[in-house]
């Protein structure tokens, strides 16, 4: 038997997942690592922790499955996106801790660029917004603030990379400095239309082009692991950022197909095929995947608080002991009450973009209790998804054809929430048998490139539905509920 090793390097933990020749999970290892918050709004990871946990989880799954490293035919990598690293080309020594995607320290740089009128051209080139979220301003901050960094970068001594790129560099013993098109498309430095680093963006942010990695397809030769690492060299053949890997793992390969991942937050991606749709609703244009040098685009929208609202029921309100209990509690809610929770705990993302807005509860009566609040909390995830879909439809009329929403992530275990989601978007919601779509996407890329797994069409056929949720709410009621949500959001914004 031969295997594919998927590395899923996430924000709070690293995981290694071993898939067999039939794309079934054989073994999983996971390790959390520390988060560093050196200042308000700053979030950092130690590169040694990222690398150390990846290495030990990979070694772990191989030994737990009692395999020889030679049984692993290829490695696929998926990763937390946008997180920014800079290291020395010769010694491999990072010049600073990694600046994590959540880090807001470059808000001022973004604000200055916006005030100088640059946002439109930035969006036109990169598909993104001037927001600290993306790598470009984080890289600029490192070059401007770490002693001697700019001089060293200009002398060609330093390399930049997102997490995938850093892992490839470490795994290949410093031989390969490359990233894939999906990760590149999140840097704010990449021209998603022409498919190369943008000279304009590099000049705007004062980034030496020589420190940027080579950009390759998602399924491509990324070199072989240094034989010292696993005792054998293993080729790295697949790379995609986490949300793109989930889109691939959900086999959303046709224009109009859409996936939504419900973890702590929620990320929805709509495949728009060859067309890079520029959003008028402040959604992002991104590369969904790239094969044979040809990018396929997506519109991406995110919700900050999805599963996190269930964590709030548990840890904040303490009305449940564990996330799954939210379902039973919501089921007992009084159907005549119309409680609405707007979970704007950290502001509102797409399509409102109201960073100062805070959460609110509407429609309370003397009879409102934990059940009504739990139900409203679960409903808020459906309402916010509908907001994203409305924005996507406004940006790309073909999106209205998009029939079905494929879902994954921890919160999709909640049948009640998935039924409400289907009711309120008025479309079927499909939950797949394999919920590990991110790792599956990375594994499939590598396995397909290795010739072990089927091609795109064949893989799409293997996608299997565990359950479909069909909308059961009539149109008038659906519109009424959604209108009430929109009024509640406006009230929260103006409060
Ligand atoms: P992440 O990758 O962001 O850590 P996961 O995909 O592991 O997230 O999903 C965890 C989230 O899903 C948590 O926020 C949790 O509250 C929520 N969750 C897990 N199970 C359920 C459930 N049965 N009902 C509602 N929410 C759930």
Mean pLDDT to the nearest integer, 85-103:
95
282: confidence class by pLDDT, cuts 50, 70, 90:
confident
Q: Which two tokens stand for residue 483?
A: 């209108």
Say how many Å lie between the CA of residue 411 and the centre of ligand 1: 4
pLDDT at 401: 57
Residue nearest to atom 2 of ligand 1 (CA): 263
127: confidence class by pLDDT, cuts 50, 70, 90:
very high
Residue nearest to atom 25 of ligand 1 (CA): 411
Mean pLDDT to the nearest integer, 343-356:
84
Q: Is 343 in the pocket of ligand 1 (CB under 6 A)?
A: no
CA angle (266, 163, 239) in 5-degree steps: 80
Mean pLDDT to the nearest integer, 6-12:
94
Residue nearest to atom 7 of ligand 1 (CA): 410
**Is the model's pLDDT at 42 over the cut of 60?**
yes
pLDDT at 1: 84
Q: Is 308 in the pocket of ligand 1 (CB under 6 A)?
A: yes
Q: Which two tokens stand for residue 403?
A: 């029939």
Domains, in order of start, for the chain: 3-241 (3.30.420.40), 250-432+464-495 (3.30.420.40)
Q: Is 342 in the pocket of ligand 1 (CB under 6 A)?
A: no
Q: Distance between CA 224 and CA 203 in Å, rounded? A: 34
User: SS in 3 state form for the chain?
Assistant: CCEEEEEEECCCEEEEEEECCCCCEEEEEEEECCCECCCCCCCEECHHHHHHHHHHHHHHHHHHCCCCHHHEEEEEEEECCCCEEEEECCCCCECCCEECCCCCCCHHHHHHHHHCCCHHHHHHHHCCCCCCCCHHHHHHHHHHHCCCHHHHHHCCCEEEECHHHHHHHHHCCCCCCEEEHHHHCCCCCEECCCCEECHHHHHHHCCCHHHCCEEECCECCCCECCHHHHCCCCEEEEEEEHHHHHHHHCCCCCCCCEEEEECCCEEEEEEEECCCCCCCCCCEEEEEEEECCEEEEEEEEEECCCHHHHHHHHHHCCCCCCCCHHHHHHHCCCCCCCCEEECCECEECCCCCECCCCCEEECCCCCCCHHHHHHHHHHHHHHHHHHHHHHHHHHCHHHHHCCCEEEECHHHHCHHHHHHHHHHHCCCEEEECCCCHHHHHHHHHHHHHCCCCCCHHHHHHHCCEEEEECCCCCHHHHHHHHHHHHHHHHHHHHC
Q: Which among 307, 382, 420, 439 is the best mutation to test ligand 1's pocket, defined by most ligand atoms within 8 Å of the CB?
A: 307
Residue nearest to atom 8 of ligand 1 (CA): 263
40: confidence class by pLDDT, cuts 50, 70, 90:
confident
Q: Distance between CA 280 and CA 265 in Å, rounded? A: 22
pLDDT tens sequence across 241-254: 999 999 999 999 99
When the pLDDT of each residue in the chain is averaged and rounded to a whole number, the result is 94
pLDDT tens sequence across 399-439: 655 589 999 998 999 999 999 999 999 999 999 998 899 99
Q: Distance between CA 378 and CA 326 in Å, rounded? A: 8
pLDDT at 281: 86
Tell which atom from ligand 1 comes closest to the C-alpha of 265.
Answer: 3
pLDDT at 492: 95
Q: Which two tokens stand for residue 246?
A: 């989930």
**Is the model's pLDDT at 172 over the cut of 90?**
yes
**Is the model's pLDDT at 23 over the cut of 80?**
yes
Q: What percent of the chain has pLDDT over 70?
A: 99
Say how many Å lie between the CA of residue 244 and the centre of ligand 1: 19
Q: Which two tokens stand for residue 123?
A: 């969006």
Q: Which among 10, 329, 411 is the best mutation to test ligand 1's pocket, defined by most ligand atoms within 8 Å of the CB?
A: 411
The β-bridge relationship of strands 214-216 and 294-303 is unpaired
Tell which atom from ligand 1 comes closest to the C-alpha of 314.
Answer: 16
Tell which atom from ligand 1 comes closest to the C-alpha of 262.
Answer: 6
Q: Which two tokens stand for residue 359?
A: 């959460």
Q: Is 210 in the pocket of ligand 1 (CB under 6 A)?
A: no
**Is the model's pLDDT at 336 over the cut of 70?**
yes
Tell which atom from ligand 1 comes closest to the C-alpha of 12.
Answer: 4
**Is the model's pLDDT at 175 over the cut of 70?**
yes
Mean pLDDT to the nearest integer, 164-180:
98
Q: Distance between CA 82 and CA 495 in Å, rounded? A: 33
Q: Is 409 in the pocket of ligand 1 (CB under 6 A)?
A: yes
Mean pLDDT to the nearest integer, 155-172:
98
pLDDT at 313: 96
Q: Is 326 in the pocket of ligand 1 (CB under 6 A)?
A: yes
pLDDT at 355: 75
Contact criterion met (CB below 8 Å) for 160 and 201: no
Q: Is 316 in the pocket of ligand 1 (CB under 6 A)?
A: no
Say how many Å lie between the CA of residue 200 and the centre of ligand 1: 40
For the entire predicted model, the pTM comes to 0.92
Q: Is 441 in the pocket of ligand 1 (CB under 6 A)?
A: no
Q: Which among 10, 79, 264 is the best mutation to test ligand 1's pocket, defined by most ligand atoms within 8 Å of the CB?
A: 264
Query: How far is residue 433 from each of residues 112, 408, 478, measured CA to CA in Å?
Result: 47, 10, 28
Residues 6 or more apart whose CB falls under 8 angstroms from that of 37 comprise: 43, 44
Q: Is 264 in the pocket of ligand 1 (CB under 6 A)?
A: yes
pLDDT at 400: 59
Tell which atom from ligand 1 comes closest to the C-alpha of 409.
Answer: 6
453 vs 103: which has the higher pLDDT? 453
Tell which atom from ligand 1 comes closest to the C-alpha of 307.
Answer: 14
Residue nearest to atom 14 of ligand 1 (CA): 307
pLDDT tens sequence across 214-227: 999 999 999 999 99
| Residue whose pair of structure tokens reads 């692991």 in the numeric block | 225
Name the burial class of residue 122, with classes exposed (0-12), middle (13-18) and buried (19+) by CB atoms within 10 angstroms of its CB: buried
Residue nearest to atom 26 of ligand 1 (CA): 411
Residue nearest to atom 13 of ligand 1 (CA): 307
131 vs 442: which has the higher pLDDT? 442
69: confidence class by pLDDT, cuts 50, 70, 90:
confident
Contact criterion met (CB below 8 Å) for 301 and 388: yes
Q: Distance between CA 234 and CA 219 in Å, rounded? A: 15
Q: Is 403 in the pocket of ligand 1 (CB under 6 A)?
A: no
Tell which atom from ligand 1 comes closest to the C-alpha of 263.
Answer: 8
pLDDT at 354: 83
pLDDT at 19: 97
pLDDT at 304: 83
Q: Which two tokens stand for residue 482?
A: 């959604």
Tell which atom from ligand 1 comes closest to the C-alpha of 10.
Answer: 2
Mean pLDDT to the nearest integer, 326-334:
97
């Amino acid at each position: 038997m031969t295997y594919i090793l998927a590395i899923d390097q996430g924000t709070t933990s690293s995981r290694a997942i071993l898939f067999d020749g039939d794309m079934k999970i054989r073994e999983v290892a996971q390790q959390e690592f520390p988060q560093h918050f050196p200042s308000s709004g700053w979030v950092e990871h130690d590169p040694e922790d990222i690398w150390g946990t990846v290495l030990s989880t990979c070694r772990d799954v191989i030994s737990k499955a009692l395999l020889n490293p030679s049984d692993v035919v290829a490695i696929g990598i998926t990763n937390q996106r946008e997180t920014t690293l800079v290291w020395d080309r010769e010694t491999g020594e990072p010049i600073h801790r990694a600046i994590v995607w959540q880090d807001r320290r470059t808000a001022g740089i973004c604000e200055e660029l916006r005030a100088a009128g640059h946002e439109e051209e930035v969006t036109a080139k990169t598909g993104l917004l001037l927001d600290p979220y993306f790598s470009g301003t984080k890289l600029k901050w490192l070059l401007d603030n770490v002693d001697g960094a700019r001089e060293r970068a200009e002398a060609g001594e330093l390399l930049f990379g997102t997490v995938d790129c850093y892992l490839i560099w470490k795994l290949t013993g410093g031989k390969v400095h490359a990233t894939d098109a999906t990760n590149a498309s999140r840097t704010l430095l990449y021209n998603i239309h022409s498919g190369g680093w943008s000279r304009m963006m590099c000049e705007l942010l004062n980034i030496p082009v020589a420190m940027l990695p080579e950009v390759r397809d998602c399924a491509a030769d990324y070199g072989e692991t240094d034989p010292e690492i696993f005792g054998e060299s293993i080729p790295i053949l697949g790379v995609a950022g986490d949300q793109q890997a989930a889109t691939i793992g959900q086999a959303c390969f046709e224009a109009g197909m859409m996936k939504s991942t419900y973890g702590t937050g929620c990320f929805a991606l709509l495949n728009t095929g060859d067309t890079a749709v520029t959003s008028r609703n402040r959604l992002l244009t991104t590369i969904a995947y790239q094969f044979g040098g040809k990018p396929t685009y997506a519109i991406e929208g995110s919700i900050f608080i999805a599963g996190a609202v269930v964590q709030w029921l548990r840890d904040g309100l303490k009305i449940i002991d564990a996330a799954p209990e939210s379902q039973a509690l919501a089921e007992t809610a009084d159907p005549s009450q119309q409680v609405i929770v707007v979970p704007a705990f950290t502001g509102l993302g797409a399509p409102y973009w109201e960073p100062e807005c805070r959460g609110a509860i509407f429609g309370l009566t003397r009879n409102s209790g934990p059940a009504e609040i739990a139900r409203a909390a679960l409903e808020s995830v459906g309402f916010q998804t509908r907001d994203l879909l409305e924005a996507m439809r406004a940006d790309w009329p073909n999106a209205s054809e998009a029939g079905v929403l494929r879902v994954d992530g921890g919160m999709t275990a909640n049948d009640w929430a998935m039924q409400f989601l289907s009711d309120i978007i008025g479309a079927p919601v499909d939950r797949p048998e394999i919920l590990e779509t991110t790792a599956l996407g990375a594994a499939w890329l590598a396995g397909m490139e290795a010739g072990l797994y089927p091609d795109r069409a064949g893989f799409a056929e293997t996608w299997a539905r565990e359950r479909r949720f069909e909308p059961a709410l009539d149109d008038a009621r659906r519109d009424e509920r959604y209108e009430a949500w929109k009024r509640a959001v406006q009230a929260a914004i103006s409060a």
